[in-house]
Structure 1
């Protein structure tokens, strides 16, 4: 029982580690930034793994990349706008401009490599 509570608590905390984007604030938040946007859902087990990897990436990241999150259940219009049909999906933006979309869980080393390649 304690294990279940800890897992749920970790999932809840990790889902709020990065700032969340909405249709109303997305353009403003991404302006003049290199960003990774994590499209996820709270009920998605692979999304929890991706969230953990992004948190670890954020802690080891020396670049100017900012991480944002989009809950596809709360922001379906953003998921539709960027063609997100499978989660987790990471979308890369440079100065607010869409660069690349990748589906699936990415390791911390893959995230570092992507940042090096895209920014």
Structure 2
């Protein structure tokens, strides 16, 4: 999964559906979520792209979207925020939440 910066973020906002995982390298739950996101990306391939934003490397993006805790995942549809998820989530719950919002 690609870790993106602010410039790349703007390019991804042109996509139909993008789930952005705001994370930190020091965050335990973020590390636990990483393989779940890999599996979700495979399950929802063609429906949603998943990218990651390191809040320590791109604090302006975290601030812009009100990310107060990590991990926080925000689903964007054609550049508009449609839903957000905070904390670790099991794969089935995350997939269901994304599909419902799409």
Q: Same fold (TM over 0.5)?
A: yes
Shift of 1:82: 0.5
Q: Which runs of 4+ in 1 moved over 6 A?
A: none
TM-score by length of 1: 0.79
What SS does the aligned partner of 1:20 have?
A: coil
Structure 2 runs not aligned, ≥5 long? none
Bigger radius of gyration, 1 or 2? 1
Question: Alpha carbon RMSD of aligned pairs, Å?
Answer: 1.3
Q: Which has the higher contact order (CA 8 A, sep 6+)?
A: 2
Q: Which runs of 5+ in 1 are unaligned?
A: 1-17
The structure 1 residue matched to 2:79, chosen from 93, 96, 100, is 96
Please give the TM-score of this superposition, normalised by the length of structure 2.
0.92
Alignment of 1:7-18 (within 5 A): 18=1
- Specify the SS of the correspondent of 1:24: helix
- Distance in 1 (CA, whole Å) between partners of 2:98 and 2:34 is 17
